[in-house]
Structures are given as structure tokens and as C-alpha cells.
Structure 1
Amino acid sequence: MAGLVTLVWRLLALGALALGFIGVVVPGLPTVPFLLLAAWCGGRGWPAMERWLLAHPRYGDTIRHWREHRAIPRKAKWAASAMMVLSATSVLVFPAPVAVRVILPAFLLCVAIWVWRRPDV
């Protein structure tokens, strides 16, 4: 049973890592949240992957800052906010159900408030 649990954690870590790498090249798909998830899953079933992510030259510091302080870099806050504004605007400009036009901008506003309340790196 322990082997199956480890396998599930590793598959989740690999899936999150794959989505994170896709996010590097696909605009609008976030990279760091998936890498945070991959490190978290790796810590439960694949310590070598967790260590690799924490030592990564580009993303390791961000993962460590999040773990230690729940901190988000200011540049990432601005990028996330810009993407949320773009998403909310596109929902208002293009055809969408009324519920989506109301709920999505309100949800994104809540997320933006949460993001900006996190400490800066």
C-alpha cells in the first residue's frame, strides 16, 4: 500500500511539473503555482524532485520564499493582476453567460486582493 501511495504522489508531482513547464511557454498559464504544487507533492513521495525544485536556479528562491513566508514577488503580483484584468475584460467584451460576466470578475477581484495581501519578496 505504501508503494501505491508513493506512486500517486509521484504522478501528481510529475503532472504538476508538466503543467508548470507548459506554463513557461503558454501565455496565461501560470508556472510557479504548478511548481509549488509539484514541490509539495514531491515532498510527500519524491524527495529528490523536491530538492531539485528547491535548488532550481530560476524558481527555487520563489518556492522557498513561499514556503517560509508565504511571500510573492512584486513582479509576479503585477503579472498576475494584469492577467486577471485581461481575463475579466475579455469576459465583458466577448459573448459570455451573465453569470460568468458577474461571478468571474468578482472572483478575480478576491484573488487579486488575496495576492496583494501576501508579503513581498
Structure 2
Amino acid sequence: MSETAERFFESLPARAPDVLRGLVSGTLQIDLSTGDETDHWLVVMRPGTVEVSRHRGPADALWYSSADLFDRLVRGEAQGVAAVLRNESTFSGNVVLFLAFRRFFPDPPGTRDPREAAREQTGRLA
């Protein structure tokens, strides 16, 4: 398991109050593969809180990814939904958990909130 992924999972409980503000609740199992080896992470999400362990299910959803892709997601170099749509990773179960979990990943470098860009543009026009 990469140090990047380890640090990411360790950071989740402290970041959960800011990220999980909605009513999301459930368990997501994340399987990360490197060659013939697979590491398992169980993430229990509730509003404002996350519990992380190195166990397997039962889970409401299962996300399978290569460890390399996951590291790129953690660094903001890839996007989870795009990876699933390109079949670089697979997901099954409660999609709301996947959509909520992806909010823990950073935005790609140079990404800006479109609302901020619109406000700047409006200010220039005035």
C-alpha cells in the first residue's frame, strides 16, 4: 500500500465534518490492487463523521481501483467518476456513497469554482 493512500485514509476522520455535511449514511468498501495483491479499506460514513478500517464488508457499496489510479485521485490528477466511466475502476452498490466519498479528493490543479469565475467576469463587465 502506498504511503499516499495511507495518509489519505488517516486524514478522513478529521476532514469528515467539512466534507460530509449532508445526510449520507452507509458503508463503502474500497479495494485497491497492486499486481496480485489487494488492500481493503472499509469506510463507514455518517453525517459529519467517518470511520476507517482495514477490514472487508459487509458494505452498501464496493469500489475497485488500482492503487496507482487511487494515488492519482488523491493527488488531484484524476477524477473518480471519469475513471469509472472509462472503466479504469468499477463500482457497485449505493452510488450516493461513491459520490459523497469523491468529495474527499482534491480538485485537479488549476480548477476553479465556476461561480467565482462568473463573479469575476460580471465584475469586469460592470
TM-score range relative to shorter protein = under 0.3
Structure number with the higher strand fraction is: 2
TM-score, structure 1 as length reference: 0.26
Structure number with the higher helix fraction is: 1
| Bigger RCO of structures 1 and 2 (CA < 8 A, at least 6 apart) | 2
TM-score, structure 2 as length reference: 0.25
